[in-house]
């Protein structure tokens, strides 16, 4: 199927208000508040204009379990510094473990792994495991405000540990075991955990990867750790089962903004920022987006391919709060081939399949036709090109709703995505999320429609970070988001917002290419270049030149196996870019490289490459421990030296 940008691929059914959770919410607003909205656009406008009424309605519609009621909803809308639901006390874990609509003996966690046999936990078993681990942590002195760290994969133990930690009012942090010890130490030395829970290793496909040396290095570098508990995930043994006790399951009431967990920026430059998320903000945001945008609830089995080092793990973890069972997978999604995850749809009864845009594009390139009955497919991590949308509807299913989601670790959600009331159009994100006042600002700081601009948030959201750990005066936090437009959150993406509220994101604003004053996003380059069978991967950067307003556009190509990047191939790439995009998109030079540098969560590193090519030493341009393939930077350093 060949489609052009903007082609309608799915439309909401006529009875969407009777069949969706957002429809039920609209009926509740009419009945309980006397509010009626003709369409999604009107609902969104209200949600970002009357912030207090909207977020109070989310609290009440979902029946948030609280120990003390809030004094008000929002004491001041200023950013940074907005305080949500002051006076309220609650506990995230208590609200997740309520599991509305899931019976005690029904599955709520279904875990699949390349390291061991599948595990299923019922609602009753999950609560009991959280109770036991909570008691074990408490016996080891963990209390409100302490930090518990998990060097462990996407398995039930990690999930149980997070909920048990939260139930005590302690703060959780996880790193995926593919992170090297240096990356882990850089993160956890900032938060000083009291307890470390670590998996001894894992299998990635058929390859065993032992982590015992990394655990020793991490422990020796963190003097704050009083207890190390091991999960014998690769070799058996370990003392995970000793995290036990007789205490009943209970939940520490904590303030709305009490630290729930710490997530980290990718750490591509400097020390990763320790982003603190609060119990209440994460709970409300995830209730809203999982139920009203992804339409998840009882009878759903919610899957997102993720590791514990990516915010999508935390996103998946909130599924039971809206009544959805969650499906976990740990291992190589491409082993023995790319059909592995699609087969899991049938094995686990998945109704909602979440993954990354690069994975969907890889499946398309491999010619897969999985053909699954799914309610929804979620895509994030990078912009999904129009042909990726077309592949999903042609090869996966015609009746599902595809949600291309964009947001970030900073808010642990998507600012823009989809909703059951919005159509799906090729290459276009359906709309802005409820409660997220997303705007595009031009270079003068003025809002624009239909033009490329900086993605900003001009009203506070409850899931914006409580702050950065250890940032006592808030200076690092302000510098990260509020230094360019005072009082406005600048996210670092380029976005075009249509008249209808739909959105197109064209890459990071700090990696964006500027040719003679015309700003070009990186994602459209990749869409064209990586669709060529001769190209395995690509990276594009733009270098400013003092005497040339066009600067220099450099394209780096990883050729497919057996292919050489010769003049004929360079000419073909140039022709394709000219025909598909514009003459401005033709690179000045095309280089062959062995690999494109990526973070551990798979994101391309345009900005560090740009820095290296302009003379920054490799060790200063990127934190190697945060890279999946740090050796890939050497080629760019050598090129920088050649170019002088």
| 442-496 residue pLDDT tens | 988 999 999 999 999 999 999 999 999 999 999 999 999 999 999 999 998 889 9
Give the per-residue pLDDT at 550: 74
How confident is residue 1, by pLDDT bands cut at 50, 70 and 90?
Answer: low
Would you call the peptide bond into 336 cis, given omega within 30 degrees of 0 as the criterion? yes
Q: Which of 423, 503, 402, 386 is closest to 456 using CA atoms? A: 503
DSSP state letters, 72-104: -SBS---TTT--BSTT-EE-HHHHHTT-TT--T
178's tokens: 């593919």
Q: Where are the alpha helices (DSSP H) in 192-321?
A: 212-221, 279-288, 311-317
Angstrom distance (rounded) from CA 71 to CA 64: 15
Q: From the CA atom positions of the chain, what is the Rg in Å?
A: 24
Chain centre distance of CA 544: 31
State mean pLDDT over 120-125.
98
In sequence order, what are the beta bridge partners of 543? 552
Average model confidence (pLDDT) across the chain? 94
Pairing of strands 119-122, 147-151: unpaired
Q: Is the pLDDT of residue 516 over 90?
A: no
Per-residue model confidence as pLDDT tens digits over 255-300 = 999 999 999 986 655 678 999 999 999 999 999 999 999 999 999 9
Q: Please report the beta strands in 249-331, taking only residues with DSSP state E, as ranges in sequence order.
A: 254-255, 259-264, 274-278, 301-304, 325-330
Give the per-residue pLDDT at 243: 98
Give the per-residue pLDDT at 269: 57
Give the per-residue pLDDT at 371: 97
Would you call the peptide bond into 312 cis, given omega within 30 degrees of 0 as the criterion? no
Angstrom distance (rounded) from CA 637 to CA 615: 8
Chain centre distance of CA 451: 26
CB 511 within 8 A of CB 268: no
Q: Which of 20, 138, 106 is closest to 421 using CA atoms? A: 20
Pairing of strands 376-380, 406-408: unpaired
Instruction: For residue 643, give the 3-state DSSP assignment.
Output: helix
For residue 207, report the phi and psi dihedrals to the nearest 5 degrees: -105, 115
Out of 97-101, 152-156, 361-365, 396-400, which region has the weakest mean confidence (pLDDT)?
361-365
Instruction: For residue 509, give the 3-state DSSP assignment.
Output: coil
Q: What percent of the chain has pLDDT over 70?
A: 98
Angstrom distance (rounded) from CA 293 to CA 337: 31
Q: Which of 580, 566, 478 is closest to 531 using CA atoms? A: 580
DSSP state letters, 341-398: HHHHHHHHT-SEEEEEHHHHHHHHHTT-------SEEEEESSPPPHHHHHHIIIII-S
Out of 11-20, 113-122, 519-528, which region has the weakest mean confidence (pLDDT)?
519-528
513's tokens: 């290419």
Give the per-residue pLDDT at 268: 56
Angstrom distance (rounded) from CA 584 to CA 349: 47
What contacts 116, CB < 8 A, 6 or more positions away? Answer: 233
Question: Which segment, 437-441, 600-604, 622-626, is predicted with the most confidence on average?
Answer: 437-441
How confident is residue 507, by pLDDT bands cut at 50, 70 and 90?
Answer: confident
DSSP state letters, 160-227: HHHHHHHHTT-EEEEE-TTS-HHHHHHHHTTT--SEEEEESEEEETTEEEE-HHHHHHHHHH-TT--E
What contacts 571, CB < 8 A, 6 or more positions away? Answer: none
Instruction: For residue 23, give the 3-state DSSP assignment.
Output: helix
pTM of the model: 0.89
Angstrom distance (rounded) from CA 413 to CA 410: 8
Across 103-112, b (16+ Cβ under 10 Å) vs e yields: eeeebbbbbb
For residue 100, report the phi and psi dihedrals to the nearest 5 degrees: -60, 130
**Burial class, 4, CB count within 10 angstroms (exposed 0-12 / middle 13-18 / buried 19+):** exposed
Q: Is the pLDDT of residue 519 over 80?
A: no
Chain centre distance of CA 127: 26
Chain centre distance of CA 368: 25
Angle made by CA atoms 509, 515, 521, in degrees to the nearest 5:
35
How confident is residue 549, by pLDDT bands cut at 50, 70 and 90?
Answer: low
**Burial class, 117, CB count within 10 angstroms (exposed 0-12 / middle 13-18 / buried 19+):** exposed
Per-residue model confidence as pLDDT tens digits over 573-603 = 999 988 877 788 899 999 999 999 998 878 8
Torsion-angle region of residue 270: left (phi > 0), alpha (psi -120 to 50) or beta?
left
Give the per-residue pLDDT at 547: 66
192's tokens: 């000083």
In sequence order, what are the beta bridge partners of 74? 84
How confident is residue 242, by pLDDT bands cut at 50, 70 and 90?
Answer: very high
Out of 56-60, 70-74, 120-124, 506-510, which region has the weakest mean confidence (pLDDT)?
506-510
Angstrom distance (rounded) from CA 420 to CA 197: 40
Chain centre distance of CA 564: 35
Out of 43-57, 156-170, 305-319, 571-585, which region has the weakest mean confidence (pLDDT)?
571-585
How confident is residue 510, by pLDDT bands cut at 50, 70 and 90?
Answer: confident
For residue 539, report the phi and psi dihedrals to the nearest 5 degrees: -145, 135
- With tokens 């890459």, the residue in question is 507
Q: Is the pLDDT of residue 509 over 80?
A: no
């Amino acid at each position: 199927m060949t489609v052009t940008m903007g082609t309608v691929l799915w439309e909401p059914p006529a009875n969407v208000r009777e069949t969706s959770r957002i429809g039920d919410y609209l009926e509740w607003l009419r009945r309980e508040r006397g509010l009626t909205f003709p369409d999604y656009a009107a609902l969104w406008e209200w949600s970002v204009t009357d912030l207090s009424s909207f977020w109070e309605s989310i609290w009440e519609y979902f029946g948030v379990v609280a120990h003390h009621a809030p004094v008000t909803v929002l004491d001041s809308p200023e950013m940074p510094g907005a305080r949500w639901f002051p006076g309220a006390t609650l506990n995230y874990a208590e609200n997740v473990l309520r599991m509305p609509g899931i019976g005690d003996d029904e599955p709520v966690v279904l875990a699949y792994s390349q390291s061991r046999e599948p595990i299923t936990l019922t609602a009753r078993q999950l609560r009991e495991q959280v109770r036991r681990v909570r008691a074990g942590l408490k016996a080891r002195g963990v209390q409100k405000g302490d930090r518990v760290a998990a060097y462990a994969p996407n398995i039930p133990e990690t999930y149980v540990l997070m909920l048990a930690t939260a139930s005590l009012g302690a703060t959780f942090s996880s790193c995926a075991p593919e992170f090297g010890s240096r990356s882990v130490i850089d993160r956890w030395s900032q938060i000083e955990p009291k307890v470390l829970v670590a998996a001894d290793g894992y299998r990635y496909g058929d390859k065993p990867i032992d982590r015992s040396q990394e655990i020793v290095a991490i422990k020796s570098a963190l003097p704050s750790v009083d207890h190390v508990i091991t999960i014998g995930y690769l070799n058996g043994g370990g003392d995970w089962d000793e995290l036990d006790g007789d205490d009943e399951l209970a939940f520490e009431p904590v303030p709305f903004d009490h630290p729930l967990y710490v997530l980290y920026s990718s750490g591509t430059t400097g020390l990763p920022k320790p982003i603190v998320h609060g119990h209440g903000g994460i709970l409300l945001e995830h209730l809203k987006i999982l139920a009203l945008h992804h339409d998840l609830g009882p009878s759903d089995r919610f899957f997102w391919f993720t590791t514990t080092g990516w915010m999508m793990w935390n996103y998946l973890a909130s599924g039971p709060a809206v009544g959805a069972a969650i499906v976990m997978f740990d291992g190589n999604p491409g082993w023995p081939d790319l059909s592995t995850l699609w087969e899991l749809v049938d094995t686990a009864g998945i109704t909602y399949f979440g993954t990354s845009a690069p994975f969907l594009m890889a499946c398309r390139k491999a010619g897969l036709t999985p053909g699954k009955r799914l309610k929804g497919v979620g895509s994030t991590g990078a912009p999904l090109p129009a042909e990726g949308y077309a592949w999903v509807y042609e090869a996966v299913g015609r009746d599902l709703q595809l949600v291309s989601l964009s947001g970030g670790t900073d808010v642990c959600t998507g600012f823009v995505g989809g909703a059951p009331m919005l159509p799906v159009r090729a290459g276009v994100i359906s709309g802005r999320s409820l409660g997220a006042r997303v705007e595009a600002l031009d270079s003068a700081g003025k809002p624009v429609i239909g033009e490329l601009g900086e993605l900003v948030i001009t009203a506070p959201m409850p899931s914006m970070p409580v702050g950065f750990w250890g940032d006592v005066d808030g200076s690092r936090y302000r510098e990260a988001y509020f230094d360019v437009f005072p009082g406005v959150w600048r996210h670092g993406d380029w976005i075009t917002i249509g008249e209808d509220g739909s959105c197109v994101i064209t890459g990071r604003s700090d990696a964006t290419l500027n040719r003679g004053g015309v700003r070009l996003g990186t994602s459209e380059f990749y869409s064209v270049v990586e669709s060529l069978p001769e190209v395995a991967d690509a990276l594009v950067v733009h270098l400013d030149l003092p005497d040339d307003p066009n600067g220099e556009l450099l394209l780096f190509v990883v050729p497919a196996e057996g292919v050489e990047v010769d003049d004929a191939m360079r000419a073909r790439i140039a022709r394709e870019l000219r025909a598909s995009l514009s003459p401005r998109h033709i690179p000045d030079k095309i280089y062959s490289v062995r690999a494109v540098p990526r973070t551990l969560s798979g994101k391309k590193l345009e900005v560090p490459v740009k820095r290296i090519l302009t003379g920054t030493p490799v060790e200063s341009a990127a934190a190697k421990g945060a890279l999946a393939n740090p050796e890939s930077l050497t080629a760019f350093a050598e090129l920088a030296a050649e170019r002088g």
